[in-house]
Amino acid sequence: MEKRNYREIGNRRPPFKKDNADKIEMIFGLRPILEALAAGKTIERIYLQKGQKNSLTADMTEMARKAHVPIASVPVEKLDSLTRKNHQGAVAYLSMITYLPLGNIVTSLFDEGKDPLILVLDRITDVRNFGAIARNAECLGVHAIVIPSHGAAQVNGDAVKTSAGALNRIPVCREHNLKETLDYLHNSGIRIVSCTEKAEHSLEENIDLTGPLAIVMGSEEDGISPEYLKRSDLRIKIPMVGKISSLNVSVASGIMLFEVLKQRLAQK
């Protein structure tokens, strides 16, 4: 396939626009999105018209894959609902944050003599839940939040607002393969602790949660994926006495992280 230098296509300003609902920039059109990818812009998500296949879409798909940018194949009606401009079958949103490499964060924390506390989110898709979790994480001492490149909430204006600005303060890492990420954390000496109703231990048992930790929280629909549970060093459930059998994931994350912080403070 012929390689193109998309930075050199024309001298025009790319057709960016502000999305009124989320206050984030939208890019529409195949070439402008390719230019943004080539320039290293942090793109939150790309919507590509279903069935559209040509050299530009092939290049876009490859570049997005390398950058771990999710692409959704959608009907043209979806694109028309996002913008009235000539989108040419492609719309993208620039991210409101810059995703950071997890490996660099973990290495730096160990070099500084700190015990990493990483929060791994499995398929948290509600933006307000995600924002609330980020707020909990920043308040309770989490060093980084890890999300998957596919199946995660969009980091938009609602998420940042719900986080009370925490998403501008706490590092967020977007990982292509959470299984490999958990393996990396485990091999780095970080204990994987999953919060799940299927756990054999309860938080009331005063389980040791000191030292390097990665706390895994799952979706409200079906919890943590089985392949991630298999990689857990410890599974913990939150004790409940009411008739409702589950907590909102943002509340559950706050309870788990508070227990970790309480134990860490007790060590000082």
Angle between the N-to-C axes of helices 102-111 and 178-187, in degrees from 0 to 180, rounded to the nearest 10: 20
Q: How far apart are CA 66 and CA 54, in angstroms?
A: 19
On whether residue 1 sits in a domain, the answer given is: no
CA quadruple 260, 263, 265, 266: dihedral, nearest 10: 180
Contact status, residue 173 vs residue 147, Cβ threshold 8 Å: yes
Residue whose pair of structure tokens reads 């958990």 in the numeric block: 182
Q: How far apart are CA 224 and CA 18, in angstroms?
A: 35
On whether residue 111 sits in a domain, the answer given is: yes
Residues present in the chain in total: 268
Q: What's the pLDDT score for residue 24? A: 60
Gyration radius of the chain over CA positions: 20
On whether residue 187 sits in a domain, the answer given is: yes
What tens digit of pLDDT does each residue of 82-130 get?
A: 888 889 899 999 888 889 999 999 999 999 999 999 999 999 999 999 9
Q: What sign for the dihedral angle of Cα 65, 71, 21, 137? A: negative
The 8-class DSSP code of residue 219 comes to B
Q: What's the pLDDT score for residue 18? A: 45
Name the domain boundary from 94, 119, 139: 94
- Note whether 86 and 116 are same-domain residues: no
Q: How far apart are CA 97 and CA 168, in angstroms?
A: 7
CATH number at residue 219: 3.40.1280.10
- Note whether 65 and 161 are same-domain residues: no
Name the domain boundary from 43, 74, 94: 94
Q: What's the pLDDT score for residue 221? A: 81
- Note whether 193 and 78 are same-domain residues: no
Q: Which of 107, 159, 169 is nearest to 131 (CA)?
A: 159
- Note whether 83 and 184 are same-domain residues: no
Name the domain boundary from 51, 66, 94: 94
- Note whether 210 and 191 are same-domain residues: yes
- Note whether 111 and 242 are same-domain residues: yes
Q: What's the pLDDT score for residue 68? A: 85
On whether residue 225 sits in a domain, the answer given is: yes
- Note whether 107 and 47 are same-domain residues: no
- Note whether 73 and 126 are same-domain residues: no
CATH number at residue 27: 3.30.1330.30
On whether residue 263 sits in a domain, the answer given is: yes
Q: What sign for the dihedral angle of Cα 251, 252, 256, 257? A: negative
On whether residue 125 sits in a domain, the answer given is: yes
CA count, 13 A, side-chain hemisphere, 29: 14
- Note whether 146 and 37 are same-domain residues: no
Beta strands in the chain (DSSP E): 16-19, 24-28, 43-49, 71-74, 90-94, 117-122, 144-148, 172-175, 191-195, 201-202, 213-218, 234-237
- Note whether 85 and 108 are same-domain residues: no
> Which stretches in the chain have pLDDT values below 50?
1-22
The 8-class DSSP code of residue 118 comes to E
- Note whether 135 and 242 are same-domain residues: yes
Contact status, residue 136 vs residue 161, Cβ threshold 8 Å: no
On whether residue 234 sits in a domain, the answer given is: yes
User: Domain span at residue 32?
Assistant: 6-94
- Note whether 145 and 236 are same-domain residues: yes
- As beta bridge partners, residue 119 has 145, 215
Number of structural domains, the chain?
2
